[in-house]
Chain A
Amino acid sequence: MKNPPSLNFDTDWTYSAAPESTDHIKLKKRYDLFINGAFVKPKSGKYFDTINPATEKPIAKIADAGAADVDAAVKAARKAFPAWTKMPAADRGKYIYRIARLIQERAREFAVIESMDGGKPIRESRDIDIPLAAAHFFYYAGWADKLDYAFPGRTAKPLGVAGQVIPWNFPLLMAAWKLAPALATGNTVVLKPAETTPLTALKLAELIQNAGLPPGVVNIVTGAGSTGAAIVSHKDVDKVAFTGSTEVGKIIMRAIAGSGKKYTLELGGKAANIVFQDAAIDEAVEGIVNGIFFNQGHVCCAGSRLLVQEGIAPELIRKLQHRMETLIVGDPLDKNTDIGAINSRSQLETIKGYLKLGKKEGANMWQTSCRVPRKGFFCRPTLFLDAAQSHRVVQEEIFGPVLAVQTFRTADEAVTKANNTPYGLSGGVWTDKGAKVFKITSKIRAGVIWANTYNKFDPTSPFGGYKESGVGREGGLHGLTPYVKLS
């Protein structure tokens, strides 16, 4: 056959707009800093806009915390520490349970705001981000009065004040990952959400007020990199927890070197999804799609490299392209949207830069033919076929809906290619053979490896990287360790 039969996804039956209602959302025009249990104006007097990346319209003004504001927040946290840590652990647990329940009760509101502020599709914020955030609080609330069982025969004591800086890709969820274990172990916190996505953290601050948490136990300050730097390098911060880019992670390590501060860093990744010939191909295709197009590819553990065994490569790529043609790119608040808006103009520019670069390097770029809104920051789902190990689009984290595709012949070659990266956060293996799952996953140097699935998260499961993907683990029992002194 000259032209192999193809499928036509330009269909007559188009889904009508199905926007999630925003009527119930209560947002203030201006948000101040949450310090010592109250919203206070920044001493800097400065505010910046947070915008909706799907419309480019400002949503609210956000306080820009300077060093003096950070200092006030750290002081509040320090002042609250003795009482919080002496409180019976079961009572501390009660507060955390209360936060978890309140998030569940207000889940829809949080989901809508998350999608408005960050651009992720409502399907994901509703079904993944918000429920998982609540689950993290529930999980660590349970540990609060059981630390003796977490560390049998030893005594776990809190560190003091934790300074936490979180990224824009999972704003509320990352806040939950950071706050829940810190609070359960009796620490107090200064948390800074990312400058492009501060709203759900500020709504969480309101919720923490409603939960009646003692003032100063959680302080939330907003701002950009300099605010984060002020937290990290503040002398009275005992522990630094950061999730974000490897570049910033290195700066943080330099800044705190010799200070004795404990730290956990959860950084970038360039994970390989390895598909063997004997895999269930359609399910692997679905896993590849979930691996790279989940949250517009703004996922540190995204499966951004596809390694496919050569015998099935043409068939798998064709099926992947067909599947990609059915992805709907558009309004994050539409319930049918699969891929929402890129988080910011600057991230869109970064991604576009890589698209140009990949073409220049000689990879064969393929994009879906879907309609894309004119206004707002959007990017078509993209493949780089025939990519080579020496291409920068294969080596560097793009943090967008861009998948580099390579083939391999032998299992050894797949393992070598998968490990040939400075990163080591995650990976995926697809095969119908159980023994192969164990053989291959044990050779991949990465913190999280999924077999015959991808991007599955659970509060009980530790998460973290090898090599330049980070230091320390979050989640599960492992996630308690970075927040305690053991004696």
Chain B
Amino acid sequence: MTKSASILAPSPTVDQVGVEERAARFTKRSIKKEAKMQGLKMALSMMDLTTLAGNDTPGKVKQLCYKAMHLHDAVADLPTVAAVCVYPTMVPVAFKALKGSGIHLASVATSFPSGHEDLDNRLDEVRRAVEAGADEIDMVISRGRFLAGEHAFTFDEVAAVKDACGKAHLKVILETGELLTYDNVRRASDIAMHAGGDFIKTSTGKVKPAATLPVTLVMLQAIRDYYFKTGIKIGMKPAGGIANAKLALQYLVMLQETLGQDWMTPDLWRFGASRLANDVLMQIVKQQTGSYQSLDYFSHD
């Protein structure tokens, strides 16, 4: 019997209609005034400020790191983001730029975004990223193997990456947009948590659909059930497609009403986003001044 089969019970079934209705219900919450301000600041503090483009340069990454520490200096009392997320080749630059800031450095290793590479090479990439200073690794699972029913492969793959991470935290990207069903998302979530993932993450941002509320809800339910079973709290990171503050607040409502107070922290929730920060900042300024400012007043990095 494989290690995975001995640990894993079958995953519970998910009803598509029901889970989408439940997710839609969260969007009915009206978040105004102080609650909005508190939520927006919380969203900033939980952000993985991300650049994952083919044309990234050291200069761009440095700028992004500065932004991570100084989101909008015109406004007092803003938190910093939780982490900066870059390709492994950019880790040394980011590590230097973020030194002493307390901001985590995440890197997408394991042949992001497809995962099509020998496992040895992928593990090697993880080790190199960690050595260069990444303290969080965002891995991708091999979706082809998972969809072919090789769930034990997925388990072993995650376990091996976890091993290669050493002390670095592991986020497991399921790429839910390629998993086709909520049942698959649930199954992959269960496997990723049992195999040692510290976080489960929806998407690379390179595939559409990326994060959605219902897919994230299915993963939160998996996290809750795993917590009930083991007492271990796994983190959640929706990524891709969360471009505005309103949607970010809806995610936080869903988090709060599904997992409660203990998960309302950057240690257990992250937004993976490249465009979200400026919209949140714009809303914060609107809350403070009463009027919207042009996007020209916020830095694009």
Contact = CB atoms under 8 A, between A and B. Distances in A.
Interface of A: 1, 4-5, 7-18, 123, 127, 278-284, 286-287, 315, 318, 322, 326, 335-336, 432, 452-453
Contacts of B227: 5
B42 A13 contact: yes
Given A8-B261, A452-B18, A13 B39 contact: yes
Nearest to B227: A5
B261 A9 contact: yes
Interface string B5-19: 000000011110111
| Shortest beta-carbon contacts, A-B, top 8 | A283-B18, A18-B30, A280-B15, A283-B15, A335-B30, A16-B33, A7-B260, A16-B35
A13 B33 CA distance: 12
Contact of A11 (B18, B34, B221, B256): B256
Given A11-B264, A12-B264, A286 B21 contact: yes
A1 B230 CA distance: 9
A380 B161 CA distance: 48
Interface string B32-51: 11111011001000000000
A7 B259 contact: yes
Interface in B213-268: 221, 224, 227-228, 231, 252, 256-257, 259-262, 264
B22 A15 contact: no
A432 B259 contact: no
Residue from B30, B36, B256 with most neighbouring chain A CB atoms (10 Å): B30
B78 interface: no
A284 B39 CA distance: 30
Given A7-B260, A13-B252, A287 B18 contact: yes
10 contacts: A9-B257, A13-B42, A13-B252, A16-B35, A17-B33, A18-B30, A127-B28, A280-B15, A315-B228, A335-B28
Given A7-B224, A336-B30, A13 B35 contact: yes
B220 to A, nearest CB: 10
A453 B21 CA distance: 10
Contacts of B224: 7
Given A9-B256, A16-B34, 9 more contacts: A5-B228, A16-B31, A16-B33, A280-B14, A282-B22, A283-B15, A286-B21, A286-B22, A335-B28
* Interface size class of chain B, counting residues whose CB lies under 8 Å from the partner chain: 20 to 34
Given A5-B228, A8-B260, A15 B30 contact: yes
Question: Interface of chain B, helix or strand or loop or mixed?
Answer: helix
Contacts of B15: 280, 283, 432, 452
A144 B33 CA distance: 49
B35 A14 contact: yes
B252 A281 contact: no
A286 B21 CA distance: 9
Contact of A10 (B14, B28, B261): B261
Contacts, number: 90
A315 B39 CA distance: 31
B262 A15 contact: no
B18 A453 contact: yes
B264 to A, nearest CB: 6
A9 B256 CA distance: 7
B251 to A, nearest CB: 13
Interface string B102-123: 0000000000000000000000
B29 interface: yes
Contact of A15 (B12, B17, B21, B31): B31
A16 B38 CA distance: 10
B127 to A, nearest CB: 33
A336 B227 CA distance: 28
A480 B190 CA distance: 52
Contact of A282 (B36, B221, B264): B221
B12 A281 contact: yes
A291 to B, nearest CB: 13
Contacts of B261: 8-12
A123 B35 CA distance: 19
Nearest to A3: B231
Contacts of A13: 35, 38-39, 42, 252, 256, 264
B78 to A, nearest CB: 17
Nearest to B228: A5
Contact of B18 (A286, A315, A322): A286
A430 to B, nearest CB: 9
Contacts of B38: 13
A14 B36 CA distance: 10
Contacts of A453: 17-18
B35 A280 contact: no
B30 A280 contact: no
Contacts of B39: 13
B33 to A, nearest CB: 4
A43 to B, nearest CB: 46
B252 to A, nearest CB: 7
Contacts of A127: 28
Contact of A5 (B14, B22, B231, B252): B231
B224 to A, nearest CB: 7
Residue from A7, A9, A279, A452 with most neighbouring chain B CB atoms (10 Å): A7
Contacts of A10: 261
Contacts of A432: 13, 15
Contact of B260 (A4, A9, A123, A284): A9
B32 A18 contact: yes
B29 A11 contact: no
Contacts of B36: 16
Contacts of A281: 12
Nearest to B218: A282
